[in-house]
């Protein structure tokens, strides 16, 4: 039993490091590509694509959630389960694409932009491609084969980025972004299909689908609520304000989201299957939840605080001054995203324990409050909507932690005590680097100095204070290196 647990820990740690490495490389590449595209294209072009992705993001939930998570959570999932879900996904995605194809003129009329019809019909092809990829992703996650994600994601990001940049330089405008989205998903799917050993068999079971759906539909409904809620802001801003306003708002969200996605996706994709394996041992799930919250917040806090402090310098240097209106949104989202590891770990624990019913109830409660706040703040200003994200993030993490007070005996007060050391040290780091722009060194030198000093202060403080998360990460990296050698 002890040997099994050690192997489970090693697999989870190695999986996290591979997944984290994949997100860092892929998203780092994506960031460079997005910077080049932002320098070429006008903000209004990004606003146009954001209007379309509001709808595709909602439909993407049908592809990515529910059944895939059910395959990961089920203790004895076999080829019949995987094959049944695969064929079901393909059929569902074809129907969803038909819906988007037919609805394209209505979406175009809603925004008063005739050019959206063809854009919607082309970019919605992502739904069909994702339907092919979804079960492969579930297989990789269930078996902790995260090295496969590394090469698939990086290949898709680089290939699509090169084509998107070339098209932007040649004056294709919004179509360069559409092509980038499509090719990224297509290449990612192709590489996974070639490298993952699983293939669908000619078998299908409605009974198996029903059992998986009894668990997965609650997660699907929860994801629909979450994605619909997140998309609601963009939909309303695009309708009531300008495309440029939407572009600045989305860009301010995307920069910190780039970092958060790296860490949160790494944690989420590894933690859920690892917890599902230990679902019968609540003590183990509690320890894994605590470790995830503590370690990921330790990583997230300095990155978010540092980005918020350096936001104006970074935007002016990297994106040029035409994007400076996004700076206030960027800073607000940095603080809101800093607490996302608390959301992720708590929700993964609830899912792993098989309580998708609680998961859905939490989402309904949070989204009811959030929609009311959005409908109030949208009539005030775009900035008011951004501030509401921060307030709702705090409320959300409290709500998400409530079930685990009883399920795991790990309440929000205990979680705060685990994350406060890292956040306090990150705030001190931010205080140290905040005055540096006053030295008049220029944007490049100032940003470099802020990064170096910030990293030195945070790491030195971690060593001096002997923070638990710092020591755990050092030991995890050493264990990973010795295993890979």
pLDDT tens digit string along 424-448?
A: 999 999 999 989 888 888 888 999 9
Cα distances (angstroms) measured from residue 123 to each of 179, 232, 394, 451: 8, 19, 34, 37
> In this predicted structure, what is the pLDDT of residue 2?
44
What are 412-421's pLDDT values in tens digits?
Answer: 888 888 888 8
Residue 4 has pLDDT above 50, yes or no: no
State the Cα angle at 340 between 334 and 345, rounded to 5°: 160
Domain boundaries, the chain: 241-485
What are 365-421's pLDDT values in tens digits?
Answer: 888 888 888 889 988 888 898 898 888 888 888 888 888 788 778 888 888 888 888
What are 6-62's pLDDT values in tens digits?
Answer: 455 555 555 555 556 656 666 667 667 777 777 777 777 777 777 777 777 776 776
> In this predicted structure, what is the pLDDT of residue 256?
83
What pTM was computed for the model? 0.64
Per-residue pLDDT band at 101 (split at 50, 70, 90) = very high
Residue with the bigger pLDDT between 364 and 75: it is 364
> In this predicted structure, what is the pLDDT of residue 3?
47
Instruction: Return mean pLDDT, the chain.
Output: 79
CA nearest 447: which of 310, 301, 303, 256? 310
Cα distances (angstroms) measured from residue 6 to each of 78, 236, 485: 25, 50, 18
Per-residue pLDDT band at 211 (split at 50, 70, 90) = confident
What are 280-339's pLDDT values in tens digits?
Answer: 667 777 777 788 788 888 888 898 999 999 888 888 888 878 888 889 999 999 988 888
Average pLDDT over residues 462-469: 85
Q: What is the DSSP string of 101-156?
A: HHHHHHHHHHHT-TTHHHHHHHHTTHHHHHHHHHHHHHHHHHTT-THHHHHHHHHH
Torsion sign over Cα 139, 178, 321, 39? positive
Residue 1 has pLDDT above 50, yes or no: no
Per-residue pLDDT band at 456 (split at 50, 70, 90) = very high
CA nearest 343: which of 287, 415, 449, 429? 415
> In this predicted structure, what is the pLDDT of residue 16?
56
> In this predicted structure, what is the pLDDT of residue 207?
87
> In this predicted structure, what is the pLDDT of residue 264?
66
CB 260 within 8 A of CB 334: no
């Amino acid at each position: 039993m002890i040997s099994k647990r050690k192997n489970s820990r090693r697999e989870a740690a190695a999986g996290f490091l591979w997944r984290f490495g994949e997100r860092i490389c892929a998203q780092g590449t994506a960031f460079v590509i997005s910077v080049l595209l932002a320098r070429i294209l006008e903000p209004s072009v990004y606003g146009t694509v954001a209007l379309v992705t509001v709808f595709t993001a909602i439909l993407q939930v049908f592809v990515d959630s529910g059944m895939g998570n059910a395959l990961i959570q089920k203790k004895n999932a076999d080829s019949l389960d995987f094959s049944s879900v695969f064929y079901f996904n393909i059929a569902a995605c074809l129907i969803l694409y038909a819906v988007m194809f037919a609805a394209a003129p209505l979406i175009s009329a809603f925004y008063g932009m005739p050019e959206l019809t063809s854009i919607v019909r082309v970019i919605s092809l992502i739904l069909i491609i994702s339907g092919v990829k979804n079960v492969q992703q579930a297989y990789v996650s269930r078996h902790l084969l995260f090295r496969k994600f590394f090469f698939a994601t990086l290949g898709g990001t680089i290939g699509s980025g090169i084509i998107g940049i070339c098209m932007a330089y040649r004056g294709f405008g919004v179509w360069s972004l559409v092509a980038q989205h499509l090719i990224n998903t297509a290449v990612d799917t192709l590489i996974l299909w070639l490298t993952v050993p699983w293939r669908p068999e000619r078998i299908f079971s409605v009974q198996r689908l029903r059992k998986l759906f009894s668990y997965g539909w609650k997660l699907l409904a929860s994801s629909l609520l979450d994605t619909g809620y997140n998309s609601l802001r963009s939909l309303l801003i695009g309708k009531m304000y300008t495309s440029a306003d939407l572009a600045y708002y989305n860009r301010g969200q995307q920069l910190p989201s780039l970092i958060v996605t790296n860490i949160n996706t790494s944690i989420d994709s590894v933690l859920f299957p690892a917890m599902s394996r230990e679902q019968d041992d609540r003590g183990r799930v509690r320890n894994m939840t605590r470790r995830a919250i503590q370690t990921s917040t330790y990583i997230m806090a300095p990155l978010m605080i540092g980005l918020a402090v350096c936001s104006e310098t970074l935007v002016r240097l990297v994106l040029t001054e035409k994007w400076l209106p996004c700076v206030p949104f960027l800073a607000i989202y940095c603080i809101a995203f800093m607490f996302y590891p608390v959301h992720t770990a708590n929700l993964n624990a609830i899912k792993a324990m098989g309580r998708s019913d609680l998961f859905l109830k939490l989402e309904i409660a949070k989204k009811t409050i959030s929609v009311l706040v959005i409908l109030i703040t949208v009539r005030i200003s775009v900035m008011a909507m951004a501030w509401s994200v921060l307030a709702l993030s705090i409320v959300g993490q409290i709500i998400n932690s409530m079930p685990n007070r009883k399920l795991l005996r790990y309440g929000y007060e205990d979680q705060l005590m685990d994350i406060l050391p890292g956040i306090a040290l990150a705030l001190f780091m931010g205080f140290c680097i905040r005055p540096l722009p006053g030295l008049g060194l220029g944007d490049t030198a100032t940003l470099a100095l802020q990064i170096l000093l910030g990293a030195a202060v945070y790491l030195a403080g971690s060593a001096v204070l002997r923070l638990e998360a710092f020591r755990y990460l050092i030991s995890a990296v050493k264990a990973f290196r010795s295993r890979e050698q």
